């Protein structure tokens, strides 16, 4: 199935053999089905009256003013959900649980990588968020101002996000693995005036500084007024006159703050995601619809029982999975979560299973790439721990291979736990296609059907719904509450990117297939965006990073299937003429280029291999033929260093070029 995940594969591509032979079915456990939050009738109810269904779901929130209209779609594709409603996101996530007498309930069991721990109750969280909100007010943050957050997986990151939400100041969280220039671009794009960060973070047992990247970024962002720095590692950091220690400013604030209500459509956050072309897109999520969507799906798809469950989304807060299912949904539902700072192999490969054993985790949510890594490490590692509390396993980020699904279910879930393969995107805000653990008989490798209240279809090139057994493009045919509202500052790009390919439908960019029962199998992106370890990377961004190196003239990047990371970045580069021949063939240069990409974008974007070539295959209109390059990259094992000396590679390119000429024009 790894082939199926390859981004460029045409939706009807031949990589479906595994699908056709996949006949395993796993029924919901009887006890889970008998007590499930959501039963089969939800599908019918939602189909009968979709908006009434979403009106019901919104009752999961506390509104200070109820909405007048569930959906206003008159200005499509610009949606307004819960029109006229007012609420405060942080109040819903925190205060109301304290008011209901649940202040002592644990919100987070936090586990630091070095082994330090913190237990944070809802009452603690209320005080921390109030103090942080008061601090932001002191720093001049007003409703509508943007705040950038560049932090690791520590409780203050959650607190910072909720403090922004409390003030109606949209946050933009930038993943801590991104480089200074990526941070700078995001700060500038949304014009953030305050940045919240840390001195450093723990990563694989050592301290990695984060603050220097902020210094580098902020040096080019004159409009940033202050940088608020949480002390995490205690390492030495350079200090500028914009910098303030979090503990100096936040700790002395009042622990109470009265939340104000905001319009349902008030911006909650901007999350940047790669596109096929150009700069990253700032995906805008607003308040009422987004919160309804994530709260409902967390309750339905994970069957969350806030009284007894211990929930763990093992993802980074800097991605949408962390926003929706570490922060907003679990807190709105009053759940207890685990939050872990570090990597799965620090200090040993059993760390996750040790955490599950220790906190008696009942629901685990992670990505196929991580599952494949655990498979590589061996089933004997989790076998050493008590995982008997687990009752549901989730997967997200890319298609899950049937082998990985079955391994996960067997070795982690001991064949008792349903696996919910949840398809969604940064843009959708929350789950869209997923089994329901108490209802659906799961098929390994399939995300099954749209959840109640969501309408998805697979269409052909002409936008016609395909029949069972056929593949095509995944589209969403009706608006949904958690949908992005626009691309920050670029309404036209929002329309062009998502709503133009198939008029009236949202085009997700993924290929999908309906099996004989009409269940959905995701096939990966139909464009050139790569998915490396569940992270979506754009070829263009990496190409631009390579070309920004003084020795590179041109670059083409493709995603080649990779056993561990789903896809791996493979780059082809043409050097500038001035580069001496000996250097052009050296391992040193390849290393330099890989590091350059890591610095410009992120270590995640580092090419697995870089091949120096004299020429690149292009269509007549000048577009690089990436599909051909992907074939080359996948049909040869390339080492770290492959140079133009390697004529067999160039032979492959030219052979392919002859047969493929013109097909992408």
Contacting positions for ligand WT7 (CB under 6 A): 273, 319-321, 396-399, 421-426, 447, 508-510, 522, 524-525, 531, 536
The answer to whether the annotation marks 206 as part of a ligand binding site is yes
The answer to whether the annotation marks 525 as part of a ligand binding site is yes
Q: How far is the C-alpha of 265 from the C-alpha of 321, rounded, in Å?
A: 21
Q: How far is the CB of 514 from ligand WT7 (least distance, A)?
A: 15
If the CB atoms of residues 224 and 317 are measured against ligand WT7, the closer one turns out to be: 317
Which two structure tokens, joined as six digits, stand for 649? 């590679």
Which two structure tokens, joined as six digits, stand for 416? 């008792």
If the CB atoms of residues 319 and 572 are measured against ligand WT7, the closer one turns out to be: 319
DSSP state of 447: -
The answer to whether the annotation marks 630 as part of a ligand binding site is no
Q: How far is the C-alpha of 156 from the C-alpha of 89, rounded, in Å?
A: 17
Q: How far is the C-alpha of 91 from the C-alpha of 261, rounded, in Å?
A: 9
Q: How far is the C-alpha of 262 from the C-alpha of 268, rounded, in Å?
A: 10
Strands 171-173 and 147-150: parallel
If the CB atoms of residues 296 and 359 are measured against ligand WT7, the closer one turns out to be: 296
**Inter-CA distances, 442 with 24, 26, 83, 387, 396, Å:** 8, 5, 37, 21, 15
The answer to whether the annotation marks 69 as part of a ligand binding site is no
The answer to whether the annotation marks 566 as part of a ligand binding site is no
If the CB atoms of residues 166 and 431 are measured against ligand WT7, the closer one turns out to be: 431
The answer to whether the annotation marks 397 as part of a ligand binding site is yes
Best CA proximity match to 9, nearest among 559, 623, 388, 637 = 559
Q: How far is the CB of 322 from ligand WT7 (least distance, A)?
A: 9
Q: How far is the CB of 447 from ligand WT7 (least distance, A)?
A: 5
Q: How far is the C-alpha of 614 from the C-alpha of 553, rounded, in Å?
A: 11
The answer to whether the annotation marks 252 as part of a ligand binding site is no
Q: How far is the CB of 341 from ligand WT7 (least distance, A)?
A: 20
The answer to whether the annotation marks 549 as part of a ligand binding site is yes
Q: How far is the CB of 557 from ligand WT7 (least distance, A)?
A: 17
Cis bond before residue 347 (omega within 30° of 0): yes
If the CB atoms of residues 326 and 613 are measured against ligand WT7, the closer one turns out to be: 326
Decide if 329 contacts 127 (C-beta within 8 A).
no
Q: How far is the CB of 395 from ligand WT7 (least distance, A)?
A: 6
Q: How far is CA 570 from the centre of its chain?
A: 22
Best CA proximity match to 152, nearest among 86, 221, 200, 97 = 200
If the CB atoms of residues 9 and 466 are measured against ligand WT7, the closer one turns out to be: 9
DSSP state of 261: P
DSSP state of 390: -
Q: How far is the CB of 422 from ligand WT7 (least distance, A)?
A: 5
The answer to whether the annotation marks 205 as part of a ligand binding site is yes
Q: How far is the CB of 589 from ligand WT7 (least distance, A)?
A: 31
The vertex-560 CA angle with 555 and 563, nearest 5°, equals 145
Decide if 281 contacts 270 (C-beta within 8 A).
no
Which two structure tokens, joined as six digits, stand for 586? 């050296």
The answer to whether the annotation marks 421 as part of a ligand binding site is yes
Complete DSSP assignment for 25-69: -BPPPHHHHHT-SS-THHHHHHHH-HHHHHHHHGGGS--SB--SE
Which two structure tokens, joined as six digits, stand for 124? 């603690």
Sheet containing strand 506-514, edge to edge, reads 456-459, 471-476, 506-514, 520-525
If the CB atoms of residues 121 and 313 are measured against ligand WT7, the closer one turns out to be: 313
Best CA proximity match to 475, nearest among 435, 411, 517, 423 = 423
Which two structure tokens, joined as six digits, stand for 516? 């004989």
If the CB atoms of residues 426 and 440 are measured against ligand WT7, the closer one turns out to be: 426
Q: How far is the C-alpha of 576 from the C-alpha of 563, rounded, in Å?
A: 33
The answer to whether the annotation marks 369 as part of a ligand binding site is no
Decide if 602 contacts 178 (C-beta within 8 A).
yes
φ/ψ of 102, rounded to 5, equals -105, 25
DSSP state of 425: -
If the CB atoms of residues 423 and 494 are measured against ligand WT7, the closer one turns out to be: 423
Residue 44: other Cβ atoms inside 10 A:
9
Q: How far is the CB of 300 from ligand WT7 (least distance, A)?
A: 16
Q: How far is the CB of 522 from ligand WT7 (least distance, A)?
A: 3
Q: How far is the C-alpha of 418 from the C-alpha of 422, rounded, in Å?
A: 12
Q: How far is the CB of 550 from ligand WT7 (least distance, A)?
A: 31
The answer to whether the annotation marks 59 as part of a ligand binding site is no
Best CA proximity match to 117, nearest among 358, 384, 387, 389 = 358
The answer to whether the annotation marks 647 as part of a ligand binding site is no
Place of tokens 């190196």: 549
If the CB atoms of residues 508 and 546 are measured against ligand WT7, the closer one turns out to be: 508
The answer to whether the annotation marks 533 as part of a ligand binding site is yes
If the CB atoms of residues 350 and 472 are measured against ligand WT7, the closer one turns out to be: 472
If the CB atoms of residues 202 and 423 are measured against ligand WT7, the closer one turns out to be: 423
Q: How far is the CB of 534 from ligand WT7 (least distance, A)?
A: 6
Q: How far is the C-alpha of 347 from the C-alpha of 486, rounded, in Å?
A: 42
**Inter-CA distances, 554 with 285, 541, 546, 577, Å:** 36, 13, 8, 11
Q: How far is the CB of 524 from ligand WT7 (least distance, A)?
A: 6
The answer to whether the annotation marks 388 as part of a ligand binding site is no
If the CB atoms of residues 198 and 329 are measured against ligand WT7, the closer one turns out to be: 329
Which residues are annotated binding-site positions for Mg(2+)? Answer: 547, 549, 552
Annotated binding residues for ATP, as ranges? 397-399, 421-426, 510, 525, 536
Q: Specify binding-site residues.
A: 203-206, 321, 397-399, 421-426, 510, 525, 533, 536, 547, 549, 552
């Amino acid at each position: 199935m790894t082939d199926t995940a390859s981004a460029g594969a045409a939706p009807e591509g031949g990589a479906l053999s595994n699908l056709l032979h996949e006949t395993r079915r796993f029924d919901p456990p009887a006890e889970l089905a008998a007590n499930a939050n959501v039963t089969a009738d939800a599908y019918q109810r939602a189909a009968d009256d979709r908006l009434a269904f979403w009106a019901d779901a919104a009752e999961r929130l506390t509104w200070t003013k109820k909405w007048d209209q569930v959906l206003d779609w008159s200005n499509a594709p610009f949606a307004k959900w819960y029109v006229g409603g007012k609420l405060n996101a942080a109040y819903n996530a925190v205060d109301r649980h304290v008011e209901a007498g649940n202040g002592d309930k644990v919100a987070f069991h936090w586990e630091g990588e070095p082994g330090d721990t913190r237990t944070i109750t809802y009452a603690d969280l209320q005080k921390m968020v109030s103090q942080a909100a008061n601090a932001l007010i002191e720093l001049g943050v007003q409703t509508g101002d943007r705040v950038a957050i560049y932090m690791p997986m520590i409780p203050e990151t959650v607190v910072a996000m909720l403090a922004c939400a409390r003030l109606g100041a949209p946050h933009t969280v930038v993943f801590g693995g991104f480089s200074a220039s990526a941070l700078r671009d995001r700060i500038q794009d949304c014009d953030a005036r305050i940045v919240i960060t840390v001195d450093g973070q723990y990563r694989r047992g050592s301290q990695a500084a984060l603050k220097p990247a902020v210094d580098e970024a902020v040096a080019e962002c004159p409009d940033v007024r202050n940088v608020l720095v949480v002390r995490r590692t205690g390492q030495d950091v350079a200090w500028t006159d914009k910098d303030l220690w979090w503990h100096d400013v936040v700790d002395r604030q009042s622990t109470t703050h009265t939340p104000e209500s905001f319009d349902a459509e008030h911006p909650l956050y901007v999350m940047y995601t790669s596109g096929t072309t150009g700069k990253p897109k700032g995906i805008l999520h607003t308040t009422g619809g987004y919160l309804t969507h994530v709260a409902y799906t967390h309750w339905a798809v994970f069957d969350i029982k806030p009284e007894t469950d211990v929930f763990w989304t093992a993802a980074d807060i800097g991605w949408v999975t962390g926003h929706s299912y570490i922060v907003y949904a679990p807190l709105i539902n009053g759940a207890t979560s685990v939050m872990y700072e570090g990597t799965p192999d620090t200090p040993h490969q059993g760390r996750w299973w040790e955490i599950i054993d220790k906190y008696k985790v009942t629901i685990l949510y992670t990505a196929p790439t991580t599952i494949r890594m655990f498979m590589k490490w061996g089933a004997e590692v989790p076998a050493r721990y008590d995982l008997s509390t687990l009752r549901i396993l989730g997967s997200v980020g890319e298609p899950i291979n049937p082998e990985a699904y079955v391994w996960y279910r067997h070795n982690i879930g001991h064949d008792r736990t349903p696996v919910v393969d949840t398809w969604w995107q940064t843009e959708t805000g929350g789950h869209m296609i997923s089994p329901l653990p108490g209802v659906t008989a799961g098929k390994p490798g399939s995300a099954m059907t749209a959840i109640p209240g969501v309408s998805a279809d697979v269409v052909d090139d002409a936008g016609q719904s395909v029949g069972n057994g056929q593949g095509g493009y995944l589209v969403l045919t009706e608006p949904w509450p958690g949908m992005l509202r626009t691309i920050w500052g670029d309404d036209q790009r929002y329309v062009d990117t998502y709503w133009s390919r198939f008029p009236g439908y949202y085009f997700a960019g993924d290929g999908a297939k309906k099996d004989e029962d009409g269940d959905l199998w995701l096939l990966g992106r139909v464009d050139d965006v790569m998915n490396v370890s569940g992270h979506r990377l754009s070829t263009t961004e990496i190409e631009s990073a390579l070309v920004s190196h003084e020795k590179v003239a041109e670059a083409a990047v493709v995603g080649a299937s990779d056993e561990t990371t789903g896809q791996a970045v493979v780059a082809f580069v043409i050097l500038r003429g001035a580069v001496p021949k000996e250097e052009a063939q050296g391992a040193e240069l390849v290393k330099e280029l890989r590091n350059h990409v890591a610095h410009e974008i992120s270590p995640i974007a580092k090419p697995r291999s870089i091949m120096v070539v004299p020429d690149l295959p292009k269509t007549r209109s000048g577009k690089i033929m990436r599909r051909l390059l992907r074939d080359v990259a996948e049909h040869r094992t390339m080492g770290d260093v492959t140079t133009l000396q390697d004529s067999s590679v160039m032979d492959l390119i030219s052979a392919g070029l002859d047969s493929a000429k013109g097909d992408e024009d």
